[in-house]
Amino acid sequence: QVQLVESGGGLVQPGGSLRLSCTASVNAFSIIGMGWYRQAPGKQRELVAYIRRSGTTNYVNSVKGRFTISRDNAENQVSLQMNNLEPEDTAVYYCNVDVLNGGVPYAYWGQGTQVTVSA
């Protein structure tokens, strides 16, 4: 079973920065891509950032220019550098890994980490 462990959430003032990290207990060669999603109270989960095996990235418009996603070290890790944080960024952030198993893709999720942006 694939397990994802997240870290780096917390409380930060507007304009501050946080770095989220996630490590997946899976062989890197099977990973299609990794990403970060978030869910704020009363809202549906949304894609924040995603990085594919090729290195191609995409971001939700509201974080472009402020957030940067990267694959780290053994390539079964993903980080999200969040700069110039805004109160609207407050949410539970979930790490995601998409794995190809026998030609079939599967999605796995981390436990979630709270990010709160408040003065």
Q: Looking at residue 75, what is its pLDDT?
A: 79
Q: What is the pLDDT of residues 47-75, one digit of tens each?
A: 999 999 999 999 999 999 999 999 987 77
C-alpha–C-alpha distance, residues 49 and 40, integer Å: 16
If DSSP codes are grouped into helix, strand and coil, which group holds residue 87?
Answer: helix
Task: Report residue 29 as tokens.
Answer: 């060669």
H runs (alpha helix) in the chain: none
Taking residues 23-42, what's their average pLDDT? 93
